Amino acid sequence: MDDELKKVIRGIALLNASEHDGMTRIDAVISKVIGTRPELRERIKEVIPLISDVVKEVNKLSMPVQKAELEKEFPELLVVKPKQERSGLPPLEGAEHDKVVTRFPPEPNGYPHIGHAKASIIDEEYARMYGGKLVLRFDDTNPENERLEYYAAIKVGLDWLGIKFDLIKNTSDDMELIYKKAEELLQSGNAYICTCDKEIISKNRREMLSCKCRSIDIDQNIKRWNNMFEKYKPGEAIVRFRGSMQSENTVMRDPTLLRIIDGPHPIHRDKYRVWPNYDFAVAIEDSIDGVTHAFRTKEYELRNELYYVILDKLGMRKPKMLEFSRLEFDGMPVSKRVLKSLVQEGKVSGYDDPRLPTLEALRRRGIVPEAIRRFVLSLGFTKSDTLAPFETLESFNRKMVDSTSIRLFIAVDPIKLTVKNNNLTEVKILNHPQKHMGARVIQIDGTFYISNEDASHLKVGDEVRLLELYNIKVTKLGSIIEAEVIGANFKSEIPKIQW
């Protein structure tokens, strides 16, 4: 491992120690090192031992020694960087102040997660950047999946994030208008009713073949359309857009616009049974809602052609569509299907299980909304895949809560330590480096617990310092470690151990 890398690690470790009472942690340094040198992610197993050694070396130093080395060897790390603009988003093409309208259109079929947070924050930031408006529109046109519980959960999550909307509505409230637009397409010959089996439809789309339904005249299509509301059963008839079965873009091979779904809708109950799919509903709704700039994740990019041609055929106003990458955390599922399965199978305690990336889970984990916003904006507006380490969000969160949070300590996988000649009954420990946050008194009797990692490095005869207490010498190892007090004066050359 090269000396340059070791120097980078040492600088990061010293800076982190200076910010945390002279103690740095391996995980904190790893996160910073990867952020500085992303190419090391693939070699992380090689790098961790080096980081571990440097962290131990730095933690042995007194705070004055740490500070002196930091100032002498790494002065560039102490330079206060000028604050950047709050939003890391690029300007919008063709945007006019006071005229920008964005929308966030979640489907109420699950609990909101970090992906929803990213989308809604981008929508709001752009609306506010241009003094415009933001619409919350529930894309609720699949009654088989939607539940009132999810409408409420999404509203609660967005409210917690601090997202403010100028208009809240449901796509399902515009069903009569959507039917009218479907009839316009049928009357103009730009759509038709298909009664083929779904297997035939799928096969024809793969083989670029038209079915017999495509040649039926307009009057017959209108008759079939009317029958969809009463006569046909689910799966027996669909409305298809007349695209091109020879298109290289598979989306344009006569896609489905509306289908029959029998089953109560959470709001409208049994009032409707012919429901638009996403592609048809989103185009119409964006246009009538006055949306000027619509954002969605890049997996929908091939659907842009259909979005615009639907609006062209209907003679409706066209918003500007832009795409960004999905946001996922490394090792955390975001898919609603996967999350639902984990909950139903009892592998997690619920949607607020801290191991999940749902907003409820992040809130329970102690993540604050402003940290999520800053994290999202730090990623910018890009189509590049975003598989972010959770540590990055935690880093933003620490910066937000550090000044108001008392410092508590934990001994991971604890090992018992007894100090035979302990002469103290209590110790006063500051809650925070800022003294105005007070202190707490801890009763002590010579029995302590230290982390298994710290214990594993001890040998009989070693001298170490128990933080905020005294120096001890190890006299016996085993399931219980024994030691004796050898003095209270601070020694910079011996390791410091958290208890």
Q: What mean pLDDT is predicted for residues 267-273?
A: 97
Q: Do 309 and 242 belong to one domain? A: yes
- pLDDT confidence tier of residue 385, bands split at 50, 70 and 90: confident
Is 347 part of any domain? no
User: Residue 120's domain is classified under what CATH number?
Assistant: 3.40.50.620
**pLDDT of 80:** 56
Residue, of 282 and 44, whose pLDDT is higher: 282
| C-alpha neighbours within 13 Å on the C-beta side of residue 387 | 7
pLDDT at 106: 98
Q: Say yes or no: 56 and 127 in one domain.
A: no
Q: Report pLDDT for 36.
A: 77
Domain co-membership, 138 together with 247: yes
The answer to whether residue 23 scores a pLDDT higher than 60 is yes
pLDDT bin (cut points 50, 70, 90) of residue 82 is: very low
Q: Is residue 262 part of a domain?
A: yes
Q: What is the mean pLDDT of the chain?
A: 92
What pLDDT score does 454 carry? 94
Residue 466 has a pLDDT of: 95
**Side chain identity, residue 484:** E
Confidence of residue 81 (pLDDT cuts 50, 70, 90): low
Q: What is the 3-state secondary structure (H, E, C) of the chain?
A: CCHHHHHHHHHHHHHHHHHCCCCCCHHHHHHHHHHHCHHHHHHHHHHHHHHHHHHHHHHHCCHHHHHHHHHHHCHHHHCCCCCCCCCCCCCCCCCCCCCCEEEECCCCCCCCEHHHHHHHHHHHHHHHHCCCEEEEEECCCCCCCCCHHHHHHHHHHHHHHCCCCCEEEEHHHHHHHHHHHHHHHHHCCCEEEECCCHHHHHHHHHHCCCCHHHHCCHHHHHHHHHHCCCCCCCCCCEEEECCCCCCCCHHHCCCEEEEECCCCECCCECCCCEEECHHHHHHHHHHHCCCCEEEEEHHHHHHHHHHHHHHHHHCCCCCEEEEECCEEECCECCCHHHHHHHHHCCCCCCCCCCCCCEHHHHHHHCCCHHHHHHHHHHCCCCCCCEEECHHHHHHHHHHHHHHHCCCCCCCCCCEEEEECCCCCCEEEEECCCCHHHCEEEEECCCEEEECHHHHHCCCCCCEEEECCCCEEEEEECCCEEEEEEEECCCCCCCCEECC
Q: Domain ends where: 21, 47, 78?
A: 78
Q: How far is Cα 237 from Cα 227, in angstroms, rounded to an integer?
A: 9
On whether both 69 and 111 belong to a single domain, the answer is no
Q: Which of 169, 298, 326, 364 is catalytic?
A: 326
**334 in a structural domain:** no
Pair (163, 282) in one structural domain: yes
Can you give the CATH number for the domain in which 471 is found?
2.40.240.10
Q: What mean pLDDT do residues 13-29 have?
A: 85
- Catalytic entry in 107, 305, 391, 463: 107
Active site residue 326: yes
| Segment 214-263, tens digit of pLDDT | 999 999 999 999 999 999 999 999 999 999 999 999 999 999 999 999 99
Instruction: Give residue 185's pLDDT.
Output: 99
Say what percent of the chain tops pLDDT 90: 74
Closest CA to 115 of 299, 321, 387, 326: 326
Is there a domain that residue 432 lies in? yes
Would residue 214 count as lying in a domain? yes
Is 7 among the catalytic positions? no
pLDDT reported for residue 492:
75
How far apart CA 423 and CA 416 sit, in angstroms, is 18
Are 311 and 196 contained in the same domain? yes
Check whether residue 130 and residue 230 sit in a common domain: yes
Q: How confident is the model at residue 83 (pLDDT cuts 50, 70, 90)?
A: very low
Q: Tell me if residue 107 is catalytic.
A: yes
On whether both 32 and 108 belong to a single domain, the answer is: no
Domain that holds residue 65: 3-78
Q: Of 24-33, 111-120, 127-136, which gets the smallest average pLDDT?
A: 24-33
Same-domain check for residues 48 and 113: no
Based on the fold, state whether residues 128 and 182 are members of the same structural domain.
yes
What local confidence, expressed as pLDDT, does residue 87 receive?
52
How many domains does the chain divide into?
A: 3
- Domain shared by 133 and 176, yes or no: yes
Q: Is residue 385 part of a domain?
A: no
Using the predicted structure, report yes or no on whether residue 181 has a pLDDT greater than 90.
yes
Residue that finishes a domain, picked among 324, 350, 371: 324
In the chain, what percentage of residues exceed pLDDT 70?
98
Residue 100 contacts residue 292 (beta carbons within 8 Å): yes
**Catalytic residue chosen out of the listed positions 155, 336, 363, 374:** 336
| Mean pLDDT for the stretch of residues 188-197 | 98
Question: Does 55 share its domain with 164?
Answer: no
Residue with the bigger pLDDT between 334 and 308: it is 308
- Cα of 277 vs its chain's centroid, Å: 26
Read off the pTM.
0.75
Q: Which residues of 271-304 are buried (b: 16+ CB within 10 A; e: fewer)?
A: ebbbbbbebbbbbbbbbebebbbbbbeeebeebb
User: Which of 300, 324, 348 is where one domain is finished?
Assistant: 324
- 200 assigned to some structural domain: yes
Per-residue model confidence (pLDDT) at position 84: 44
Place 142 in a pLDDT band, splitting at 50, 70 and 90: very high
**Residue 405, domain member (yes or no):** no
